[in-house]
Every structure is written in C-alpha cells, then in structure tokens.
Amino acid sequence: MKREIKFSLIYRDMWQSSGKYTPRVDQLLEIAPVIIDMGCFDRVETNGGAFEQVNLLYGQNPNVAVRQWVAPFKKAGIQTHMLERGLNGLRMNPVPEDVRYLMFKVKKAQGVDIARSFCGLNDHRNLKASVIGAKQAGMISQASLSITYSPVHTVEYYMDVVDHLVEYGCDEICLKDMAGIGRPVYLGRLVKAIKDKYPHIIVQYHGHSGPGFSAASMLEVARAGADVLDAAIEPLSWGKIHPDVITLREMMLDAGFAVKDINMDAYMEARSLTQKFIDDFLGYFIEPTNHFCSSLLIGCGLPGGMMGSMMSDLKGFHNAINMSLRNQGKPELTLDQLVVKLFEEVEYVWPRLGYPPLVTPFSQYTKNTALMNLMHTLKGEERWKTIDPDTMNMILGKTGRLPGPLAPEIVQIVKDKGLEFYTGNPQDAYPDELPKFIKMMEEEGWDRGQDDEELFEFAMHERQYRDYKSGVAEKRFNDALEAEKEKAGAPKIVVRPVVEVPKFDAEGYMEKHPDAHPIQSTAAGQLIWHVDPAQESVAPAIGTPVTEGQTICHVQAYYGLEPIKALFNGKIASINARHGDKVAKGEVIGFIE
C-alpha cells in the first residue's frame, strides 16, 4: 500500500513572506470555501506570527478574524495551525509565562487545532512552556526545529533538541527551514533519525524556495518518512516563498506516494482571488524582488524574505558610505559591490556570534551587526564597534543558549563592557503580568472578551491594541494606503522635510556638517517617539545627549515595534519627522553630532 503524503497550505506565511500585510477577514472568508473545494489540503496555516499585529494595524479585531477564518475549515474537517515564537509568543520580544499559557487557551477556544512553536536558537527550554501550554489547552503541540546549515548543526545536535521536546510531550516535529538552505540529503538523514527513534511522531517540513533547494528537500524528507509538506499556490509561490502544491503533488506522485487530487477549477479560482487581493491593495506593500530565487542566499544563509529589507538597508546607507570613502580618497562602491561585501560580512559574523539560526529575530541581529561592521571597516575603523542591546542580550544568553561557542573577541568585548553571561532559564527573567493587564482593562472599562481573548490580545500587544481601540490604527492604515496609491509608479522619497526647514537635503546637510551622523529608520511603518502610553509622544529636544546603542525611538512595523538606535555618541542635532509620521525603511529621521 502506498504511503500517503499530506499537504498543508501556508496561506498566512505566503503573504508574510511576500510583503507587509495579510488579507482582511472579509477576503479570507471569500477564499476559504475555494481552498476547501481544492480538495488537496489536510491542513491550512491560518494565523500566528504577524497575523495578529496586522489585524490590529488595520484597526480590526484579530480575535474576530481568527474565529471567522478557522471556522469553515473546522467544519470541513481540515486542521488549522498557527505559528508562535516560543519565548516571544506572537511578538518580537519575550513574553511572560502566564501570557503564553493564556495564548494557547484562547487559540484553542477560537478553533485552532495545532500550535507550531519555534525557538530561533533551538533552546528547548524556551519551548517547554509552549509544549505544555498547548497540551494543557487541548491543542496538538507541533514543536519546530529552526533549520540551518553549519558545522555545529548536525543531526546529533538536532536529535538532542528532539529528545527534550518529546520528553515535554510534543505530538509532532516541524522542520522549519526558514531560509531554505537545508541541504536535501542532510534533511533526509535528520527525518530518518527522528522516525527511527520516535515512529509515532508526525513530521512536517516547511521550506522556503529562496536559494532553490526546497523542492529537492521535500522529496528527500518524504522518502525518509515525513508525513506533511507545506505548500503554496500561485501567484504567491516559488521565489522567496514556498513551492507550489501542483509541482509537489506531481513529484510525490511520480515517487510512488499516495496524494490527494487537486480540483483545478478551484485552484484557478483561488489563484484568481489571491491575485484580486493583491490588486485590491495588498500589492502596494509587497516587495517585488520576493518573486525571485537567489543562489546568493546559500552562502550567507539569510532568509529570502530579508532580501528586500536588506536592500533597503544598503540603499539607505549607500550615500553615507560613499561619502566616507570619498573623504578617505578611496573609490566609491556600487550597490552590487556593497551587497557582496555585506554577504561576506554576514558569513564572517555568523560563526563568531555562535551560529544562531538565521530566523526572526536572530537573522535581524546578525544582519544588523554585519551591516554595522561593514560601515565601520569601510571607514577604516575596527569591527564590533557597534553592537545593539538586543544582539548583546543574545550574546549574553538572555534569550537562550547559542548553538555554538562565541569567538574570543566577542567574549573579550563582554568582559571589557563589564557584563556577565546569563546561564539561567530565559523565561525566569520575565515575571507574570496578567494581573497588571487585568487591572488596566478594568480601569479603561474594557471587557476581557470571550474566553479572555481581549485580555490576551492586550497583554501580548499593548501598544497596538491601544491604537486599535482608540481608532488611531484604522486611520493610520487608511492614510498609509492612500499615500501608497498616490505614489504608485512614482519614485519613493525617503527623506522628509525637517521640521521648520523646507526642502531638507540629507546629503547636503552631511556635506555642511561632516561630523553629523544620520538617524535612519531600520523598518517601514509609523514613527513612535515614546512607546509608553503614559509619556508625551514628542521628539527629543535639540542638544539632547545620546549614547551609542541607545534606543531613540520606535517604528511600528507590520511585525511589531522596531527600535531605532543611536549608532554614535553625541547630541541630537536635527529632528526630521514627527510622532505618527509614516517613515520608509532607510529614511533619515534626524541627525546626531
């Protein structure tokens, strides 16, 4: 009898890997019956990751979206699954344990069947509460391995993680090949090792197309015993996204596996609807280069979805770097030359930081450190001069145990700064907070919601939730959408007028003030000068002293709050954007002298 291979439609991640937003709930409800009619999916990824934040950014209630979106699949007997980030829950920073446990109770009550949990460092301690919380809530616990390719990420390394996850009680293991750089044969050996030792464990493989390995990897893991493969559909398949279900089905069928038929009429309708959503408004926020694979991703190991953001980083720093090179009498660099240099620097930085798997948020930390190193070395300065606090917390072990050893020069930096390595359980550093949020909701007169789902949303995303409740988020999104429509087809302007200084020219400012250093946004979104709702949201005064690594402001990006940090010691010399302004990635929002 042929062994069956099942497919899961990664409808949430298809969009997250493509651009800034996912479809609204009305669009999701339009396509849900069509996905069901396709007949080839046993599972659909419906929520998690950035899904909750995106709905809040729309000014819509994510709890309503999840309940309505999963309902038709539940009725049809199709399992739904979510993605959560272990210690970080549904956001980019650590979450108290009581909020994490509440998350699983809420998601189970909302109808979600499977909790896919991952830790970017593969620290099983960060996943223990996820496995226990999902099981206690009655969900299926699918614990993930963040796949990367390095000398320390051996089959034995991953099996040690699997042993702990099975001990905690997980039901399934996911191979989360977020950059798609897992080598096919190696992944086959890993799946075989899991199945040989734990034949009862269901194995699901998730691989992005990025550098081009994923289709071959899916064939190898299927032959080794994998049960479920994640797939996409056109027009959001391949490129930096995921392989298309049609190709995967034909490949599995030819290899002798049993697979479900695809209703091609329904496929074409789902394809058409997805394109309609893109044409409606989502396409304004999609990074065009994400439609292309790139073999350059093999060497640096960065997730394909980061290519767009990385290019924005380089474009933002390009002029400043060339200005520095001109001042040194050195030849300027093209953008392509900078790309190669940054990739090479990532390859240099990554092993010295202990080989963190390059998945959110550790891919950002590694890339940002490499970018700062590149800026300093091109100025004739030493590496490691700028290490932001989040990266330093990773180095110190506050977010989990690094897979590999730190380089001696990194250890010396820690000693020179008078810091100490953290060896405790990362969760212990974040005490419970639900009583605090319950009190705040009572003070606001807000209802905790069905199954405490509003309490959970508030505790997980306080700032975004407040903006949703006040109506600010909806207005902000509508304004942003109108702005995107207006500039569609026009070149993007990334430098705003400085307050009270019309027609501000960033390059001209730097030419006249050679000691000035730009404060640049590292993400696109809404500028927030103060995160604390109790503080007045005004920019720092001119002359305010700042230190290297200090958080100056935040940008409300689609995935959460992105801190904007000072890269140099000095004083605020100029402010170029106001609280609430929409800023582009790489945009100059001020200067330090």
Output the CA angle 552-358-10, nearest 5 degrees.
105
Q: Hey, what are 427's tokens? A: 């969760």
Tokens representing residue 182 in the block: 């897992």
**Which neighbouring-strand residues pair with 148?**
none
Q: Which two tokens stand for residue 453?
A: 């789902």
Peptide bond into 331 cis (omega under 30): no
- Determine contact, residues 526/555, Cβ cutoff 8 Å: yes
Q: Between the CA of residue 435 and those of 70, 93, 343, 442, 447, what are the distances in Å?
A: 30, 20, 46, 11, 15
Q: For residues 46 and 35, give the distance between their C-alpha atoms in angstroms, rounded to a whole number.
A: 12
Q: Which residues of the chain have pLDDT under 50?
A: 490-503, 534
In terms of DSSP bridges, do strands 525-528 and 560-565 run parallel, antiparallel, or are they unpaired? unpaired
10 Å Cβ neighbour count for 314? 20
**How many Å is the Cα radius of gyration of the chain?**
24
The answer to whether residues 555 and 587 touch, using CB atoms and an 8 Å cutoff, is no
Report whether 52 contacts 92 (CB < 8 A): no
Q: What angle do CA 129, 465, 590 make, to 5 degrees?
A: 105
- Crossing angle of helices 453-460 and 62-76, in 10° steps, is 120
Task: Say if CB 519 and CB 592 are below 8 A apart.
Answer: yes
Phi-psi region of 90 (alpha: psi -120 to 50; beta: other; left: phi over 0): alpha
Q: Using alpha carbons only, what angle is made at residue 215 by residues 212 and 219, rounded to the nearest 5 degrees?
A: 140
The SS3 assignment for 258 reads strand
- The tens digit of pLDDT for each residue in 387-435 reads 888 899 999 999 999 999 999 999 999 999 999 999 999 999 999 999 9
Give per-residue pLDDT as tens, 32-60: 999 999 999 999 999 998 899 999 999 99
Domains of the chain as residue ranges with CATH: 6-284 (3.20.20.70), 506-592 (2.40.50.100)
d(CA 131, CA 86): 9
**How far apart are alpha carbons 568 and 447 in whole angstroms?**
45
Instruction: Give the global pTM.
Output: 0.82
User: Is residue 347 a contact partner of residue 339, using CB atoms and an 8 Å limit?
Assistant: no
Task: Determine contact, residues 259/40, Cβ cutoff 8 Å.
Answer: yes
Beta bridge partners of 47: 82
- DSSP notation for 259-308: -----HHHHHHHHHHHHHHHHHTGGGGB-GGGGS--THHHHH---TTHHH
Per-residue pLDDT, 530: 73
